[in-house]
């Protein structure tokens, strides 16, 4: 599937604002993939489809989480997390993309996880730093991403966790585990 076909499919699922965000994530993911040696085409594809399920009805996403036996603890946390694993499911079933690496990059772009692949890290970070994002700390992460993918990831996860803590919201366990894994694995080596 070429870029134009993929963008046409995803545009039907998104608001204009979210589509603009998706273009920013795509362009950022391609740049990061080029810089850090990931497959640029996979980065492009995962970035295009990362928010595919963002606007699906919450009750439909909840049903898919249950029916597909996705981690049930997802339902105990913010529904903002749901679109990532549900999106990976839809991208595989409805769009026909079955590349596990692309699907995992979509699946974990909001929560992260222990032992993320380079592609997963790139899509996670591209979603965080794309040019349309404006919030405290994003410029520092953009600066770090130019020279140190690992430091950029650590800082982005720290910022996200602190944001949730300041709002008195729970932090999804995979995100805590991702943070711990990144800090313990200071060299940022891919396992």
pLDDT digits (tens, 9 = 90+) for 161-179: 999 999 999 999 999 999 9
- Across residues 10-31, what is the average pLDDT? 98
Please determine, for residue 86, whether its predicted confidence score (pLDDT) is greater than 70. Answer: yes
Query: 16-36 and 3-11 helices cross at what angle (nearest 10)?
Result: 150
Answer for the pair 64, 70: CB distance below 8 angstroms, yes or no. yes
Q: Distance between CA atoms of 67 and 69, rounded to whole angstroms?
A: 5
Residue 152 lies in a domain: no
pLDDT above 90 as % of the chain = 95
Residue 187 lies in a domain: no
Residue 143 lies in a domain: no
Residue 168 lies in a domain: no
pLDDT above 70 as % of the chain = 97
The pLDDT value given to residue 56: 96
Q: Name the residue with tokens 């996670």.
A: 124
Nearest-Å Rg of the Cα atoms of the chain is 16
Of 191 and 128, more confident:
128
DSSP structure string for 96-146: ----HHHHHHHHTTTT--TT--HHHHHHHHHHHH-TT--STTHHHHHHHHT
pLDDT range class, residue 91, cuts 50, 70, 90:
very high
Q: Report the mean per-residue pLDDT for the chain.
A: 95
Please determine, for residue 74, whether its predicted confidence score (pLDDT) is greater than 90. Answer: yes
Q: What is the CATH number of the domain that holds 53?
A: 1.10.3210.10
Please determine, for residue 42, whether its predicted confidence score (pLDDT) is greater than 70. Answer: yes
Q: Name the residue with tokens 């604002």.
A: 17
Residue 179 lies in a domain: no
Closest to 124 in 3D by CA, of 94, 155, 163, 99:
155
Long-range contacts of 154-161, Cβ-Cβ distance < 8 Å, separation of 24 or more: 154/179, 154/182, 154/183, 156/124, 156/125, 156/128, 156/129, 157/112, 157/182, 160/128
Residue 139 lies in a domain: no
- Across residues 53-75, what is the average pLDDT? 95
pLDDT range class, residue 187, cuts 50, 70, 90:
low
Q: How far does the chain reach from its first CA to its final CA, in angstroms?
A: 29
Q: Distance between CA atoms of 88 and 93, rounded to whole angstroms?
A: 9
Residue 116 lies in a domain: yes
- Across residues 22-37, what is the average pLDDT? 98
- What is the number of structural domains in the chain? 1
Residue 141 lies in a domain: no
CA 129 → CA 25, 69, 187, distances in Å?
8, 31, 21
Print the domain residue range for 75: 3-134
């Amino acid at each position: 599937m070429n870029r134009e076909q993929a963008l046409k499919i995803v545009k039907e699922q998104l608001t204009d604002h979210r589509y603009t965000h998706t273009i920013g994530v795509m362009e950022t993911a391609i740049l990061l993939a080029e810089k850090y040696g990931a497959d640029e085409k996979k980065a492009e594809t995962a970035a295009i489809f990362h928010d595919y399920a963002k606007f699906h009805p919450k009750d439909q996403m909840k049903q898919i989480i249950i029916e597909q036996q996705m981690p049930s603890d997802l339902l105990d946390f913010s529904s903002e997390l749901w679109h990532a694993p549900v999106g990976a499911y839809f991208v595989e079933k409805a769009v026909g993309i079955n590349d596990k690496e692309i699907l995992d990059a979509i699946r974990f772009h909001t929560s992260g996880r222990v032992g993320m692949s380079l592609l997963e890290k790139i899509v996670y970070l591209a979603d965080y730093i794309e040019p349309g994002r404006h919030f405290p700390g994003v410029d520092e992460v953009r600066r770090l991403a130019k020279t140190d993918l690992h430091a950029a990831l650590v800082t982005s996860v720290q910022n996200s966790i602190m944001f949730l803590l300041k709002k008195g919201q729970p932090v999804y366990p995979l995100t805590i585990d991702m943070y711990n894994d990144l800090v313990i694995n200071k060299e940022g080596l891919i396992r």
